[in-house]
Chain A
Amino acid sequence: MPEGNAAPQVARILRHGGYETRAMLRNGEQLVLAVVLPVMALFGLAFTGLLDGVADRRIDAAVPGVLALCVMSTAFTGQGIATGFDRRYGVLRFLSTTPLGRAGLVFGKAIAVVAVLAVQLVVVGGTALALGWQPQPSGILLGLFLLLLGAAAFTALGLWVAGTVRPEATLAITNLVWVLLAAVGGILIPGTRLPAPMQPAVELLPSGALGDGLRAALIEGRLDGAALAILLVWSLLAGFAATRWFKWN
């Protein structure tokens, strides 16, 4: 038997993806980060003049940034912290001795990120539609693709942090970075609205690129090539770093 007593690989990965998704959704703090804060941000931006001029209507200007924030919450902060503590408790070591293996673990986590992201998309997108959100139809598919690419980049970044420092440090770093990038990382507020000296740096951040790319797609139905390229580079760099330096124990 080529697989011995192992269940088929796809079944193992899907099963672990489901398991990780339930674990993430059961975690209260994670839900606050994943759903409550983005919805609060959505209301904040939709009912204030912070983004006036970015799009014709405030809600249309707000939603792309909030979706980008969802990606960062789930893929980077939430998943990074969970992985950091899994590493501390030896969970990664144990599961990597089962037929799931290390690759299966990472794929399972990626599935969980996408699944939680889907839940966020439904909640945030649904709320936004109720508030009158009208995304540019021609940009919706591109927007979904950018969300997935952003999830890949931030998952890799989260795994890189979680796999190299202590879980307490992962907790501190990913939360701090989340707050910083949410505030001045070009996610909710476009880089062009930030002080001029910061702008070039912000555009090169994965957060800035994801925010800009999503705004171009969902507001104008346009592909922002620079943002796409920057996100791709971040995914590859962080993916390489995580693979290279991840310590399993």
Chain B
Amino acid sequence: MTLKVGDKHEQVVIENVNRTHIVKYAGASGDFNPLHHDDTKAKDLAGYPSVFAHGMLSMGLTGRMLTDWLGATALKKYGVRFTRQVWPGDTLTAKGEVTDVKEEGGKQLATIKVVTVNQNGESVVEGEAVAEV
């Protein structure tokens, strides 16, 4: 594929996050921090209103937008900051935009700005990826 600066892709990566989604991620990733599956502990231990999703679930969901768009093995780098927690009921849309394209050894290296937003348009993950396409 050929990319140019300004190319965009966006994808709804999860609708109406529920506790089953979160628990499934806990089981698959091995991260059994009770803040993500035990409402009582989330409230009493740390003062949160309820459980919330693992940041890495948001990053993993966002990764799907990148690999669906660019290919399963295109990524050279992928990094994010977790900007906001994701709560049960949230719907996330992952967005990518090409900000730079370089030619290197006959291949294109594209830098992609990544942001995933919730249903209120607030970012939950912000970062950057570099893909060889």
The finding on whether chains A and B are genuine partners in a shared complex, rather than unrelated, reads no
Residues of B participating in the A interface, judged by any CB pair closer than 8 Å: none
Footprint of B on A, CB under 8 Å?
none
